[in-house]
Amino acid sequence: MDTVKVWDPLVRLFHWSLVLAFAANALVIDDDSKLHQWIGYGIVGLVLLRLCWGIIGTRYARFTAFPPSMSGAIEQLGDIATGRKSIHVGHTPLGALMIYNLLAALLVVGLSGYLMTTDAFWGLKWPEELHEIAVGWTEASVVMHILAVIYESRRTRVNLPRAMITGYKQFPNR
């Protein structure tokens, strides 16, 4: 096995803090509670921190390491369809698109949630409707992300969840 240090402590702390906070707000905490709002603010803070780290962070944390690429995503889908196993040290092209999707969706969830608490938007339906749609989209994206991580871990024999815990990806000898 080849072992490569990929995910720095900040990326891993961000990821697992976001997992816990989003799961708590989506599954446990009452939507109308102050705690729900504060956790939402915390999530937005985490996303803003990750956006900054995506510019100034370590090699694989930078957005330049995983630019959005439709051609790369199509190539990865072709690899999946034909059984080819292209190994990516950082995010795969499809993984990169999911990361951008999740970051944007969480910002929409946070912004629409905030708007619902302001006097200017109090009682208007569209911020609440936008919030519900964005939460639903984010939840569906999270499920797709988890399923894709499991699938890609099995397909490529690279344990992606372990890498997000330890920071190291272990690649099968090629």
What is the per-residue pLDDT across 57-112, written as a single tens digit (0 to 9) for each? Answer: 999 999 999 999 999 999 999 999 999 988 889 999 999 999 999 999 999 999 99
In whole angstroms, what is the distance from residue 170 CA to residue 160 CA?
9
Segment 20-52, tens digit of pLDDT: 999 999 999 999 999 999 999 999 999 999 999
Q: Where are the domains of the chain?
A: 2-171
Give the pLDDT band of residue 121 (cuts 50, 70, 90).
very high
Task: Quote the DSSP letter at residue 25.
Answer: I
- How far is the CA of 59 from the CAs of 31, 72, 133, 161, in angstroms? 38, 19, 34, 20
Q: Which of 140, 110, 117 is nearest to 50 (CA)?
A: 110
Q: pLDDT digit string (tens) for 132-163?
A: 999 999 999 999 999 999 999 999 999 999 99
Query: What pLDDT was estimated at residue 1?
Result: 77
Which token pair is 60? Answer: 């694989």
Q: Which of 42, 39, 15 is nearest to 26 (CA)?
A: 39
Measured between alpha carbons, how far is 105 from 111 in angstroms, rounded to an integer?
10
Per-residue pLDDT, 87:
83
- Is-contact 40 113, C-beta < 8 A? yes
* Inter-CA distances, 135 with 31, 78, 128, 166, Å: 12, 31, 10, 29
Cβ contact 127:112 at 8 Å = yes
Is pLDDT of 122 > 90?
no
Cβ within 8 Å of residue 51, ≥6 positions away:
103
Report residue 130 as tokens: 């936008």
Asked whether the predicted pLDDT for residue 174 surpasses 60, the reply is: no
| Size of the chain, expressed as the number of residues it contains | 174
**Does the pTM exceed 0.85?**
yes
Domain 2-171: which topology?
Fumarate Reductase Cytochrome B subunit (1.20.950)
Q: What is the pLDDT of residue 86?
A: 86
Q: Which two tokens stand for residue 69?
A: 């690429």
